[in-house]
Structure 1
């Protein structure tokens, strides 16, 4: 156990912040929930437009970077092949970025928009139906994956190009903040990231566990209880702890590959056994709606809703702003993970691959799973909306799956997929949390460190689940993630500043793929960037 590699200020700071939020929720649950909910209402109501602006700016920035000189930079040495093949790479980034939440929302999200559509549309109308098929894909589409991708740029650049053996968000903003990241400011940045991830993980557990419990109940006839949900959470914890302990290749990659093939099976089954024509046409129509209204959907903040004579729906705050805030909380983690698995690819490949593969995966889930549920509703075969209002989302999701032929078998596969999705998200999370609290990461984070964060990710949500405070922790993480808007700006600035400087100093400036030249210094025996070598030569001349 090499404890000298641990950055104890970040390690302990993250735990203090987590306990500082959760302990009051344990002892004063009602008052704690009220304070957190008021803070959330204040943030989304008054600063919602900032989240919307952030989403559009990040999307535009990444498109620019992908097709600029900066996008040609190779993450690694010249001639180096990608560490993972494209299928495994896409499976890992999708499983880490989405998790079991995609199974939850892809099946049921349309029902909420069907009853409470945007833009003042009447609920349950034809227009509401069309928006209900499109808005889920929009919320889980290119802007979401752009928010995820931005932190990967500077992190991957410093790790694979400048050879800095540190996987920290604070290290990625060093070109802008300089040596201040070595002090309290850097610790605060990393601690906020860890707290956001722990709360975001609680959101994923809070959605996934009841859904898995309902699947087991449907298969066995057992009643859903807190004890069953606790057992499910412990099972998932054991799986992802073992995976994280095994490492990136033997654990996380294997689980992600299994996850991918199970997802392909269940999507293919629902598509071909279900209403194939309806699913195809509705999904295609939804893509057209999004393309036609992309900027309208990305900028609608209901500005007149709080004025006299106008009905306020709170749709943007409840859905789009919440989603953008949720993606923002998870972004440093997913960015760190995408950076770690992207060795051997160019910046352009990493950006476009993450945004395209991620979006396609979400289109398939929402287009197939969601439109199957909508078809059941519109044909009268199953009143999903009525069932949702009476029994809640987890039970409705499983009941929609039960409408398929060979229902028991498909519910079993669906439940197993949900468990593995949950595990793949958390093993990736614990892996990255372990990396963030280390001063250096040569190869992989320490095993005991990975194992510690695997259990830390589930112990607090498990405790709060019994006490009914899990939702408050989720909301608190969204509120606490607000400063990440400004950190995202610093990350973009940092990447452009560092990469532009190195490109100008590189002989490969005009090459199709830019390899930043590196040299070895005899005195330190370490690889250095072109910029550092040129600075040394200038000092010698002086």
Structure 2
């Protein structure tokens, strides 16, 4: 009886359209991708070419604007606003920082850290600038650097303010637009915003799963002699889904504990590669040089559009990455905003940059520069392998085989990637489950059954993409297309934040004036 009453209560709270429409669309896309793989690729590529080539400035401009906006949030009058009144932070700085990094990056950071330098080494633009040694690691840091994190941070501040300062009970994209759109967010416009947000998130997560899972399969196949194929890849996806589905049943406590384990595994892997790989000097010197090169050239890299299309490097890579981060903006900033209760906006902005950039830069500097050192020493030829059409997962495997105790390293890599996946999707599932509720108090967690529904839905689209043998270019197209409408919503949310925060500061000033006036009387 109690169980039935609880189910009826949950059913009344559910925003059924936000659950049913994405489910039907994802099932439809899965069938389309699996039944018509070639036609799907052609369509994706056509739309991506239009958005990335003709409208690429839109994505690049948003990236530059997000960095500037985040700095203004931190160092203007808004930076002193505390997210949650006078309350102290719920998590220590270390706990908060590890959750920000491990719950937002997913396993693709390990995938890209190991191979991105080799992909860039083949680009004509990199060769024109000065070659692989100087520019391949610089572009890795650039594409995973301040602009990437600025998308998360500006929205994390907006959502944190909405939830912890204004105490809004709708934890949705549409609710964050209320200061500008008003009551229209309660109608069809708000519903469209939330549906676009959820669909963009599903597309972004599908891209992540589909890119990195073949590396897991290759690593397990080599370490344990397992036969490669779709069966192994799908088994890995299902295992990851089971892990993070079980973890979400423990709520935020489960997310925190898994994030801690993930952080320790990640730093152990980095330390082993740095100290046992025999390339410590090369790794550190290249990392130091590429960081300096990035700082020196950041403004030029952030604004270069290649108007004559001499190489199309910007359209193929920078536009993709900014779109990729925007697609993930749907849930990741909500999570950062939720766990930042008790911190000032300035602390949230600078702390998120510090922990985010610290983790990503360490990964790319150590793992990426180790792989490049093997190329420079002539122990592998990853660049030629990629040029011949070799799968990226096999190229990464060849890099890792050069390490001492390679099979042990691969096992640690697999466990770390699964932990990254599970931690990230725990956080995403927690957030997107909140979208399923018409109203949800800031301190209230979504029901476990709702979180399980989304945990299963997250895994369907990646399976379809893997079965259709989508290339990296096709997977990038999914992210570029999904992010386009999200960018417009991001502008609305940030503008709404400034409008609402300005009103809040005026209200606070009036309260202080009234209190001072009463005391003086």
Q: Name the TM tier (shorter chain).
A: over 0.9
Q: Is the 8 A contact 1:150 1:491 kept in 2?
A: no
Q: Which runs of 5+ in 1 are unaligned?
A: 306-311, 512-516, 518-542
Q: Is the 8 A contact 2:203 2:482 kept in 1?
A: no
Distance 1:510 1:316, change over 3 A: farther
Q: Is the 8 A contact 1:387 1:396 kept in 2?
A: yes
CA distance in 2: counterparts of 1:409 and 1:22, whole angstroms? 36
Distance 1:382 1:30, change over 3 A: closer
* 2:120 is aligned with 1:118: no
* 2:57 is aligned with 1:77: no
Please point out which of 91, 96, 105 is paired with 2:98.
91
CA distance in 2: counterparts of 1:438 and 1:414, whole angstroms? 37
TM-score, structure 2 as length reference: 0.92
Q: Secondary structure at the match of 2:55?
A: helix
Q: Secondary structure at the match of 1:302?
A: coil
Q: Is the 8 A contact 1:171 1:181 kept in 2?
A: yes
Distance 1:382 1:464, change over 3 A: closer
Q: CA RMSD in A?
A: 2.0
CA distance in 1: counterparts of 2:307 and 2:508, whole angstroms? 49
CA distance in 2: counterparts of 1:52 and 1:473, whole angstroms? 20
Q: Is the 8 A contact 2:200 2:330 kept in 1?
A: no
Q: Which residue of 1 aligns with 2:410?
A: 411
CA distance in 1: counterparts of 2:475 and 2:15, whole angstroms? 25
Q: Which runs of 5+ in 2 are unaligned?
A: 1-6, 516-521
Distance 1:98 1:354, change over 3 A: same
Distance 1:16 1:185, change over 3 A: farther
* 2:265 is aligned with 1:266: no
Structure 1 residue 175, shift from structure 2 partner: 0.2
Q: Is the 8 A contact 1:435 1:445 kept in 2?
A: yes
Higher helix content, 1 or 2: 2
Aligned residues: 501
Q: Which residue of 1 aligns with 2:448?
A: 447
Q: Secondary structure at the match of 2:404?
A: coil
Structure 1 residue 508, shift from structure 2 partner: 9.1
Q: Is the 8 A contact 1:5 1:439 kept in 2?
A: yes
Q: Which residue of 2 aligns with 1:392?
A: 391
Please point out which of 304, 314, 317 is paired with 1:316.
314
Bigger shift: residues 341-350 or 468-477: 468-477
CA distance in 1: counterparts of 2:47 and 2:208, whole angstroms? 21
Q: Which residue of 1 aligns with 2:518?
A: none
Structure 1 residue 20, shift from structure 2 partner: 4.4
Distance 1:144 1:239, change over 3 A: same
* 2:60 is aligned with 1:52: yes
Deviations 1:189-242 (A, max 9, x none): 111111111111111111121011111011112221100001101100000101
Structure 1 residue 383, shift from structure 2 partner: 1.9
Distance 1:33 1:384, change over 3 A: closer
CA distance in 2: counterparts of 1:355 and 1:81, whole angstroms? 21
CA distance in 1: counterparts of 2:376 and 2:512, whole angstroms? 57
CA distance in 1: counterparts of 2:512 and 2:405, whole angstroms? 58
